[in-house]
Chains A and B, each alone.
Chain A
Amino acid sequence: MNRATIDIWVGAFVAAGFAGLLFLALKVGNMASFSLDKTYDVQAKFANIGGLKPRAPIKSAGVVVGRVSQIQFDNQSYEANVTFTIDAQYQFPRDTSAKILTSGLLGEQYVGLEAGGDSAMLKSGERVRLTQSAVVLENLISQFLFNKAAEDKEAKDKK
Protein backbone atom coordinates (compact mmCIF):
# COMPACT_ATOMS: atom_id res chain seq x y z
CA MET A 1 0.00 0.00 0.00
CA ASN A 2 2.07 2.92 -1.21
CA ARG A 3 1.75 6.45 -0.02
CA ALA A 4 -0.12 7.84 -3.03
CA THR A 5 -2.93 5.30 -2.72
CA ILE A 6 -3.29 5.93 0.99
CA ASP A 7 -3.41 9.68 0.43
CA ILE A 8 -6.16 9.30 -2.16
CA TRP A 9 -8.28 7.12 0.11
CA VAL A 10 -7.85 9.41 3.10
CA GLY A 11 -8.66 12.45 0.99
CA ALA A 12 -11.80 10.75 -0.30
CA PHE A 13 -12.75 9.78 3.26
CA VAL A 14 -12.41 13.34 4.57
CA ALA A 15 -14.27 14.74 1.55
CA ALA A 16 -17.09 12.23 2.09
CA GLY A 17 -17.25 13.25 5.74
CA PHE A 18 -17.63 16.91 4.87
CA ALA A 19 -20.18 16.07 2.20
CA GLY A 20 -22.16 14.18 4.84
CA LEU A 21 -21.97 17.15 7.16
CA LEU A 22 -23.17 19.43 4.37
CA PHE A 23 -26.05 17.04 3.65
CA LEU A 24 -27.04 17.07 7.30
CA ALA A 25 -26.78 20.82 7.55
CA LEU A 26 -28.75 21.68 4.46
CA LYS A 27 -31.14 18.83 3.73
CA VAL A 28 -31.77 17.73 7.27
CA GLY A 29 -31.31 20.78 9.45
CA ASN A 30 -32.49 24.32 9.24
CA MET A 31 -29.16 25.87 8.34
CA ALA A 32 -30.77 27.26 5.22
CA SER A 33 -32.51 29.70 7.51
CA PHE A 34 -30.96 32.70 9.13
CA SER A 35 -28.19 31.58 11.45
CA LEU A 36 -25.88 34.20 10.05
CA ASP A 37 -28.28 36.97 9.06
CA LYS A 38 -28.56 40.31 10.74
CA THR A 39 -31.18 40.67 13.43
CA TYR A 40 -32.60 43.27 15.80
CA ASP A 41 -34.09 42.90 19.28
CA VAL A 42 -37.39 44.19 20.63
CA GLN A 43 -38.99 43.63 24.04
CA ALA A 44 -42.53 42.74 25.12
CA LYS A 45 -44.26 42.24 28.49
CA PHE A 46 -46.71 39.40 29.11
CA ALA A 47 -48.89 38.65 32.14
CA ASN A 48 -48.38 34.95 31.55
CA ILE A 49 -46.06 33.35 29.00
CA GLY A 50 -47.50 29.87 29.51
CA GLY A 51 -45.07 27.30 28.08
CA LEU A 52 -43.06 29.69 25.94
CA LYS A 53 -39.37 28.77 25.89
CA PRO A 54 -36.27 30.52 24.58
CA ARG A 55 -35.63 29.75 20.90
CA ALA A 56 -39.37 29.43 20.33
CA PRO A 57 -40.30 30.70 16.87
CA ILE A 58 -41.86 34.11 16.24
CA LYS A 59 -44.29 33.90 13.34
CA SER A 60 -46.23 36.43 11.39
CA ALA A 61 -48.89 35.17 8.98
CA GLY A 62 -47.58 31.70 9.81
CA VAL A 63 -44.04 32.42 8.53
CA VAL A 64 -41.09 32.26 10.93
CA VAL A 65 -39.57 35.75 11.20
CA GLY A 66 -37.47 35.38 14.35
CA ARG A 67 -36.83 33.61 17.65
CA VAL A 68 -37.39 34.28 21.32
CA SER A 69 -33.94 34.97 22.74
CA GLN A 70 -34.53 35.74 26.40
CA ILE A 71 -37.28 35.43 29.02
CA GLN A 72 -36.96 37.29 32.30
CA PHE A 73 -39.18 38.09 35.27
CA ASP A 74 -39.72 41.80 35.95
CA ASN A 75 -39.87 42.15 39.75
CA GLN A 76 -41.37 45.64 39.51
CA SER A 77 -44.41 44.96 37.35
CA TYR A 78 -44.58 41.21 38.20
CA GLU A 79 -44.82 40.40 34.52
CA ALA A 80 -42.65 38.39 32.13
CA ASN A 81 -40.26 40.42 29.96
CA VAL A 82 -39.58 38.60 26.68
CA THR A 83 -36.87 39.59 24.18
CA PHE A 84 -37.59 38.89 20.50
CA THR A 85 -34.74 38.58 18.01
CA ILE A 86 -36.26 39.37 14.62
CA ASP A 87 -34.62 38.94 11.22
CA ALA A 88 -33.45 42.33 9.98
CA GLN A 89 -35.21 42.00 6.66
CA TYR A 90 -38.64 42.11 8.34
CA GLN A 91 -39.86 45.45 9.67
CA PHE A 92 -42.98 45.75 11.83
CA PRO A 93 -45.07 48.87 12.61
CA ARG A 94 -44.89 50.30 16.12
CA ASP A 95 -48.45 49.26 16.92
CA THR A 96 -47.89 45.60 16.10
CA SER A 97 -49.46 43.19 18.59
CA ALA A 98 -47.80 40.05 19.95
CA LYS A 99 -49.80 37.02 21.06
CA ILE A 100 -48.65 33.75 22.56
CA LEU A 101 -50.28 30.98 20.54
CA THR A 102 -50.18 27.22 20.57
CA SER A 103 -49.36 25.21 17.47
CA GLY A 104 -52.02 22.58 17.07
CA LEU A 105 -54.17 21.78 20.08
CA LEU A 106 -51.58 20.72 22.61
CA GLY A 107 -48.36 21.58 20.80
CA GLU A 108 -45.53 23.88 21.73
CA GLN A 109 -46.10 27.60 22.10
CA TYR A 110 -44.87 30.34 19.83
CA VAL A 111 -45.28 34.10 19.42
CA GLY A 112 -47.60 35.40 16.71
CA LEU A 113 -47.08 38.98 15.47
CA GLU A 114 -49.96 40.81 13.87
CA ALA A 115 -48.88 43.97 12.08
CA GLY A 116 -50.63 47.20 12.98
CA GLY A 117 -51.14 50.26 10.75
CA ASP A 118 -48.55 52.70 12.09
CA SER A 119 -46.26 54.20 9.46
CA ALA A 120 -43.31 54.27 11.87
CA MET A 121 -41.48 50.94 12.28
CA LEU A 122 -40.17 49.23 15.42
CA LYS A 123 -36.49 49.83 15.92
CA SER A 124 -33.93 47.81 17.89
CA GLY A 125 -34.45 48.07 21.66
CA GLU A 126 -38.03 49.32 21.47
CA ARG A 127 -41.05 47.72 23.07
CA VAL A 128 -44.14 46.04 21.59
CA ARG A 129 -47.04 47.62 23.48
CA LEU A 130 -49.98 45.37 22.60
CA THR A 131 -49.56 41.90 24.01
CA GLN A 132 -51.86 39.01 24.74
CA SER A 133 -50.81 36.36 27.21
CA ALA A 134 -50.90 32.65 26.66
CA VAL A 135 -54.10 30.76 27.22
CA VAL A 136 -53.77 28.81 30.45
CA LEU A 137 -55.76 25.60 30.27
CA GLU A 138 -56.90 25.64 33.91
CA ASN A 139 -58.32 29.14 33.57
CA LEU A 140 -60.10 28.06 30.38
CA ILE A 141 -61.65 25.05 32.09
CA SER A 142 -62.74 26.98 35.18
CA GLN A 143 -64.21 29.68 32.93
CA PHE A 144 -66.08 27.02 30.95
CA LEU A 145 -67.43 25.46 34.13
CA PHE A 146 -68.39 28.89 35.48
CA ASN A 147 -70.19 29.72 32.19
CA LYS A 148 -71.92 26.36 32.18
CA ALA A 149 -73.04 26.85 35.80
CA ALA A 150 -74.35 30.35 34.93
CA GLU A 151 -76.26 28.97 31.91
CA ASP A 152 -77.87 26.24 33.98
CA LYS A 153 -78.84 28.73 36.64
CA GLU A 154 -80.44 30.97 33.99
CA ALA A 155 -82.35 28.06 32.53
CA LYS A 156 -83.58 27.09 35.98
CA ASP A 157 -84.59 30.65 36.81
CA LYS A 158 -86.62 30.88 33.60
CA LYS A 159 -88.74 27.83 34.45
Chain B
Amino acid sequence: MALREPLQRLGHSMTERILRLGFAARFFAYMLLHSGTALRRFHLTIREIYFAGVLSLIIILVSGLFVGMVLALQGYETLQRYGSSEALGILVALSLVRELGPVVAGLLFASRAGSAITAEIGLMKATEQIAAMEMMAVDPIARVVAPRFWAGVISMPLLAVLFSAMGIFGGYLVGVQLIGVDEGAFWSQMQAKVDFRNDILNGVIKSVVFGVAVTWIAVFEGYDAQPTAEGVSSATTRTVVTSSLAILALDFVLTALMFTGGNAG
Protein backbone atom coordinates (compact mmCIF):
# COMPACT_ATOMS: atom_id res chain seq x y z
CA MET B 1 0.00 0.00 0.00
CA ALA B 2 1.60 3.18 -1.23
CA LEU B 3 -0.08 5.31 1.43
CA ARG B 4 1.41 3.39 4.30
CA GLU B 5 4.62 5.31 4.77
CA PRO B 6 3.15 8.81 4.46
CA LEU B 7 0.39 7.85 6.89
CA GLN B 8 2.90 6.46 9.35
CA ARG B 9 4.96 9.60 9.15
CA LEU B 10 1.89 11.77 9.62
CA GLY B 11 0.79 9.81 12.66
CA HIS B 12 4.29 9.88 14.07
CA SER B 13 4.62 13.62 13.66
CA MET B 14 1.22 14.10 15.30
CA THR B 15 2.19 12.00 18.32
CA GLU B 16 5.51 13.87 18.51
CA ARG B 17 3.69 17.18 18.52
CA ILE B 18 1.27 16.14 21.23
CA LEU B 19 4.07 14.75 23.39
CA ARG B 20 5.96 17.98 22.92
CA LEU B 21 2.89 20.00 23.87
CA GLY B 22 2.57 17.96 27.05
CA PHE B 23 6.22 18.54 27.81
CA ALA B 24 5.75 22.27 27.19
CA ALA B 25 2.81 22.32 29.60
CA ARG B 26 4.80 20.60 32.35
CA PHE B 27 7.66 22.99 31.67
CA PHE B 28 5.24 25.91 32.05
CA ALA B 29 3.90 24.61 35.36
CA TYR B 30 7.42 23.96 36.69
CA MET B 31 8.51 27.45 35.69
CA LEU B 32 5.54 29.06 37.44
CA LEU B 33 6.17 27.05 40.61
CA HIS B 34 9.84 28.03 40.63
CA SER B 35 9.33 31.72 39.90
CA GLY B 36 10.26 32.62 43.46
CA THR B 37 13.82 33.58 42.54
CA ALA B 38 12.66 35.78 39.66
CA LEU B 39 10.34 37.67 41.95
CA ARG B 40 12.49 37.82 45.10
CA ARG B 41 15.66 38.85 43.28
CA PHE B 42 13.71 41.25 41.13
CA HIS B 43 16.81 42.81 39.62
CA LEU B 44 17.16 39.68 37.50
CA THR B 45 13.72 40.31 36.03
CA ILE B 46 14.40 44.01 35.63
CA ARG B 47 17.46 43.20 33.58
CA GLU B 48 15.35 41.05 31.27
CA ILE B 49 12.67 43.74 31.02
CA TYR B 50 15.40 45.99 29.69
CA PHE B 51 16.46 43.50 27.02
CA ALA B 52 12.96 42.44 26.02
CA GLY B 53 10.94 45.60 26.54
CA VAL B 54 13.10 48.69 26.42
CA LEU B 55 15.07 47.51 23.41
CA SER B 56 11.80 46.84 21.55
CA LEU B 57 10.56 50.38 22.14
CA ILE B 58 11.93 51.90 18.96
CA ILE B 59 10.33 49.40 16.62
CA ILE B 60 7.04 49.49 18.54
CA LEU B 61 6.79 53.28 18.60
CA VAL B 62 7.75 53.74 14.96
CA SER B 63 5.44 50.97 13.78
CA GLY B 64 2.60 52.33 15.88
CA LEU B 65 3.04 55.75 14.38
CA PHE B 66 2.98 54.43 10.83
CA VAL B 67 0.04 52.12 11.42
CA GLY B 68 -1.97 55.00 12.88
CA MET B 69 -1.10 57.25 9.96
CA VAL B 70 -2.09 54.63 7.40
CA LEU B 71 -5.36 53.96 9.25
CA ALA B 72 -6.20 57.63 9.04
CA LEU B 73 -5.37 57.82 5.34
CA GLN B 74 -7.30 54.70 4.37
CA GLY B 75 -10.14 55.40 6.77
CA TYR B 76 -10.68 58.90 5.50
CA GLU B 77 -10.98 57.72 1.92
CA THR B 78 -13.87 55.44 2.77
CA LEU B 79 -15.59 57.54 5.43
CA GLN B 80 -15.78 60.73 3.45
CA ARG B 81 -17.69 58.93 0.71
CA TYR B 82 -20.56 58.52 3.18
CA GLY B 83 -20.11 61.97 4.66
CA SER B 84 -18.85 60.50 7.92
CA SER B 85 -15.32 61.81 7.89
CA GLU B 86 -15.77 63.09 11.43
CA ALA B 87 -15.88 59.50 12.62
CA LEU B 88 -12.21 59.16 11.69
CA GLY B 89 -11.14 59.50 15.31
CA ILE B 90 -13.43 56.67 16.32
CA LEU B 91 -12.18 54.47 13.51
CA VAL B 92 -8.52 54.97 14.33
CA ALA B 93 -8.94 54.68 18.09
CA LEU B 94 -11.14 51.60 18.16
CA SER B 95 -9.11 49.73 15.54
CA LEU B 96 -5.93 50.34 17.48
CA VAL B 97 -7.11 49.88 21.03
CA ARG B 98 -9.19 46.78 20.40
CA GLU B 99 -7.17 44.95 17.76
CA LEU B 100 -4.12 46.42 16.12
CA GLY B 101 -2.40 47.53 19.30
CA PRO B 102 -2.28 44.16 21.04
CA VAL B 103 -1.93 42.08 17.87
CA VAL B 104 0.68 44.00 15.89
CA ALA B 105 2.69 44.83 19.00
CA GLY B 106 2.52 41.15 19.88
CA LEU B 107 3.76 40.07 16.45
CA LEU B 108 6.61 42.59 16.58
CA PHE B 109 7.51 41.52 20.10
CA ALA B 110 7.56 37.88 19.04
CA SER B 111 9.91 38.57 16.16
CA ARG B 112 12.25 40.86 18.03
CA ALA B 113 12.29 39.88 21.67
CA GLY B 114 10.90 36.35 21.39
CA SER B 115 13.51 35.22 18.89
CA ALA B 116 16.28 36.88 20.92
CA ILE B 117 15.20 35.02 24.06
CA THR B 118 15.08 31.71 22.20
CA ALA B 119 18.49 32.25 20.66
CA GLU B 120 20.02 33.25 23.99
CA ILE B 121 18.70 30.28 25.94
CA GLY B 122 19.45 27.89 23.08
CA LEU B 123 23.01 29.12 22.86
CA MET B 124 23.48 28.77 26.60
CA LYS B 125 22.33 25.18 26.22
CA ALA B 126 24.66 24.53 23.30
CA THR B 127 27.72 25.91 25.11
CA GLU B 128 26.96 23.82 28.23
CA GLN B 129 26.24 26.89 30.37
CA ILE B 130 22.91 25.36 31.43
CA ALA B 131 24.62 22.10 32.39
CA ALA B 132 27.32 24.03 34.26
CA MET B 133 24.63 25.86 36.21
CA GLU B 134 22.98 22.56 37.14
CA MET B 135 26.31 21.15 38.29
CA MET B 136 26.73 24.23 40.46
CA ALA B 137 23.42 23.35 42.12
CA VAL B 138 21.56 26.34 40.63
CA ASP B 139 18.22 25.55 38.99
CA PRO B 140 18.55 26.99 35.47
CA ILE B 141 14.79 27.25 35.01
CA ALA B 142 14.49 29.41 38.12
CA ARG B 143 17.59 31.48 37.35
CA VAL B 144 17.53 31.87 33.57
CA VAL B 145 14.06 31.01 32.27
CA ALA B 146 11.61 32.43 34.83
CA PRO B 147 13.00 36.01 34.86
CA ARG B 148 12.72 36.15 31.07
CA PHE B 149 9.17 34.86 31.19
CA TRP B 150 7.96 37.44 33.71
CA ALA B 151 9.81 40.19 31.88
CA GLY B 152 7.89 39.31 28.72
CA VAL B 153 4.54 39.22 30.51
CA ILE B 154 5.21 42.64 32.05
CA SER B 155 6.58 44.24 28.89
CA MET B 156 3.89 43.13 26.45
CA PRO B 157 0.93 45.20 27.75
CA LEU B 158 3.15 48.25 28.16
CA LEU B 159 4.32 47.95 24.57
CA ALA B 160 0.77 47.40 23.29
CA VAL B 161 -0.48 50.50 25.09
CA LEU B 162 2.38 52.58 23.74
CA PHE B 163 1.71 51.23 20.24
CA SER B 164 -1.96 52.27 20.45
CA ALA B 165 -1.10 55.68 21.90
CA MET B 166 1.47 56.34 19.16
CA GLY B 167 -1.01 55.14 16.55
CA ILE B 168 -3.73 57.49 17.72
CA PHE B 169 -1.21 60.30 17.66
CA GLY B 170 -0.24 59.31 14.13
CA GLY B 171 -3.91 59.22 13.15
CA TYR B 172 -4.32 62.70 14.61
CA LEU B 173 -1.30 63.98 12.69
CA VAL B 174 -2.60 62.72 9.37
CA GLY B 175 -6.31 63.20 9.96
CA VAL B 176 -6.37 66.60 11.60
CA GLN B 177 -3.10 68.25 10.64
CA LEU B 178 -2.65 66.85 7.16
CA ILE B 179 -6.13 66.14 5.80
CA GLY B 180 -8.04 68.72 7.79
CA VAL B 181 -10.70 66.79 9.70
CA ASP B 182 -12.12 68.94 12.46
CA GLU B 183 -9.97 68.58 15.56
CA GLY B 184 -12.81 68.98 18.03
CA ALA B 185 -14.97 66.39 16.27
CA PHE B 186 -11.98 64.03 16.01
CA TRP B 187 -11.40 63.90 19.76
CA SER B 188 -14.94 64.35 21.08
CA GLN B 189 -16.47 61.62 18.94
CA MET B 190 -13.61 59.35 19.91
CA GLN B 191 -14.15 60.02 23.59
CA ALA B 192 -17.86 59.37 23.26
CA LYS B 193 -17.40 55.99 21.67
CA VAL B 194 -14.27 54.50 23.20
CA ASP B 195 -15.21 52.90 26.48
CA PHE B 196 -12.47 52.46 29.06
CA ARG B 197 -13.74 49.17 30.43
CA ASN B 198 -14.92 47.52 27.27
CA ASP B 199 -12.35 48.70 24.80
CA ILE B 200 -9.16 49.84 26.47
CA LEU B 201 -9.11 47.38 29.34
CA ASN B 202 -10.07 44.50 27.06
CA GLY B 203 -7.20 45.45 24.80
CA VAL B 204 -4.84 45.37 27.77
CA ILE B 205 -6.15 41.95 28.79
CA LYS B 206 -5.52 40.72 25.25
CA SER B 207 -1.95 41.94 25.32
CA VAL B 208 -1.30 40.22 28.66
CA VAL B 209 -2.60 36.95 27.22
CA PHE B 210 -0.40 37.42 24.15
CA GLY B 211 2.57 38.20 26.37
CA VAL B 212 2.12 34.95 28.28
CA ALA B 213 1.77 32.93 25.07
CA VAL B 214 4.71 34.50 23.19
CA THR B 215 7.16 34.41 26.08
CA TRP B 216 6.21 30.87 27.04
CA ILE B 217 6.83 29.71 23.49
CA ALA B 218 10.11 31.65 23.32
CA VAL B 219 11.61 30.26 26.54
CA PHE B 220 10.41 26.74 25.84
CA GLU B 221 11.82 26.58 22.31
CA GLY B 222 15.13 27.90 23.60
CA TYR B 223 15.29 25.43 26.44
CA ASP B 224 14.29 22.51 24.21
CA ALA B 225 16.57 23.42 21.30
CA GLN B 226 19.07 20.93 19.90
CA PRO B 227 22.48 22.03 21.20
CA THR B 228 23.90 22.75 17.74
CA ALA B 229 23.98 25.76 15.44
CA GLU B 230 21.18 24.37 13.26
CA GLY B 231 19.21 23.46 16.35
CA VAL B 232 19.28 26.98 17.73
CA SER B 233 18.48 28.49 14.35
CA SER B 234 15.45 26.28 13.76
CA ALA B 235 14.26 26.87 17.34
CA THR B 236 14.36 30.63 16.70
CA THR B 237 12.32 30.25 13.52
CA ARG B 238 9.82 28.03 15.32
CA THR B 239 9.41 30.65 18.03
CA VAL B 240 8.47 33.37 15.56
CA VAL B 241 6.13 31.16 13.53
CA THR B 242 4.38 29.50 16.47
CA SER B 243 4.05 32.77 18.40
CA SER B 244 2.51 34.54 15.43
CA LEU B 245 -0.02 31.77 14.85
CA ALA B 246 -0.82 31.65 18.56
CA ILE B 247 -1.40 35.41 18.68
CA LEU B 248 -3.79 35.32 15.74
CA ALA B 249 -5.69 32.30 17.05
CA LEU B 250 -5.97 33.71 20.57
CA ASP B 251 -7.02 37.05 19.13
CA PHE B 252 -9.94 35.39 17.39
CA VAL B 253 -11.03 33.61 20.56
CA LEU B 254 -10.67 36.68 22.77
CA THR B 255 -12.42 38.97 20.29
CA ALA B 256 -15.32 36.55 20.06
CA LEU B 257 -15.57 36.49 23.84
CA MET B 258 -15.13 40.18 24.44
CA PHE B 259 -16.49 42.17 21.58
CA THR B 260 -19.37 40.31 20.03
CA GLY B 261 -22.84 39.43 21.31
CA GLY B 262 -24.50 42.77 22.04
CA ASN B 263 -26.21 41.44 25.16
CA ALA B 264 -23.00 40.24 26.67
CA GLY B 265 -22.62 43.71 28.20
Q: Is there direct touching of A and B in the complex, by C-beta distance under 8 Å? A: yes
Complex contacts, A24 vs chain B, CB 8 Å:
97, 161, 164-165, 168, 200
**In this assembly, does B49 line the interface, its C-beta being within 8 Å of a C-beta of chain A?**
yes
A4 CB to nearest B CB, Å: 11
Main DSSP-derived SS at the B contact region:
helix
| Interface range on chain B (Cβ under 8 Å from partner) | 35 or more
Q: Contact: A7 with B46, CB < 8 Å?
A: yes
Query: Among residues 154 to 178 in chain B, which have CB atoms less than 8 Å away from a CB atom of chain A?
Result: 154-155, 157-159, 161-162, 164-165, 168
Most chain-A Cβ atoms within 10 A of its Cβ — which of B155, B165, B194?
Answer: B165
Residue of B nearest to A14 (CB): B158
A-B pairs with beta carbons under 8 A, tally: 85
Stretch at the interface among B119-127, B137-145, B185-193, B231-239: B185-193
**In this assembly, does A136 line the interface, its C-beta being within 8 Å of a C-beta of chain B?**
no
A1-29 contact mask (Cβ, 8 Å, vs B): 1 or 0 = 10100110110111011101101110111
Q: Contact: B265 with A54, CB < 8 Å?
A: yes
Complex contacts, A13 vs chain B, CB 8 Å:
49-50, 53-54, 57, 155, 158
**In this assembly, does A119 line the interface, its C-beta being within 8 Å of a C-beta of chain B?**
no
**In this assembly, does B16 line the interface, its C-beta being within 8 Å of a C-beta of chain A?**
no
Asked whether A28 and B200 contact (CB < 8 A) given A10-B53, A17-B161, the answer is: yes
CA distance A29 to B197 in the complex (A): 9
B71 CB to nearest A CB, Å: 14
Complex contacts, A47 vs chain B, CB 8 Å:
none
Query: Among residues 67 to 91 in chain A, which have CB atoms less than 8 Å away from a CB atom of chain B?
Result: 71
Q: Contact: B97 with A28, CB < 8 Å?
A: yes
Q: Contact: B196 with A35, CB < 8 Å?
A: yes
Most chain-A Cβ atoms within 10 A of its Cβ — which of B43, B50, B155?
Answer: B50
CA distance A67 to B59 in the complex (A): 40
Complex contacts, A29 vs chain B, CB 8 Å:
191, 194-196, 199-200
A95 CB to nearest B CB, Å: 30
Main DSSP-derived SS at the A contact region:
helix
**In this assembly, does A142 line the interface, its C-beta being within 8 Å of a C-beta of chain B?**
no
Q: Contact: A10 with B200, CB < 8 Å?
A: no
CA distance A111 to B188 in the complex (A): 21
Q: Contact: B93 with A30, CB < 8 Å?
A: no
Complex contacts, A30 vs chain B, CB 8 Å:
191-192, 194-196
**In this assembly, does A61 line the interface, its C-beta being within 8 Å of a C-beta of chain B?**
no
Complex contacts, B200 vs chain A, CB 8 Å:
21, 24-25, 28-29
Task: Pick from A3, A6, A17, A71: contact of B158, CB below 8 A.
Answer: A17
Complex contacts, B157 vs chain A, CB 8 Å:
17
B51-63 contact mask (Cβ, 8 Å, vs A): 1 or 0 = 0011001000000
CA distance A19 to B43 in the complex (A): 23
CA distance A31 to B155 in the complex (A): 24
B169 CB to nearest A CB, Å: 9
CA distance A29 to B191 in the complex (A): 5
Name 18 interchain pairs, CB-CB below 8 A, sorted by A. A6-B47, A9-B54, A10-B50, A10-B53, A14-B154, A17-B158, A17-B159, A17-B161, A17-B162, A18-B158, A20-B158, A20-B164, A24-B97, A28-B190, A29-B196, A30-B194, A35-B196, A35-B197
- List 17 other contacts, CB 8 Å, given A29-B195, A53-B263, A55-B265: A13-B54, A13-B158, A14-B154, A14-B158, A16-B158, A21-B161, A24-B164, A24-B200, A27-B191, A28-B93, A28-B168, A28-B190, A29-B199, A30-B191, A31-B196, A54-B262, A71-B263
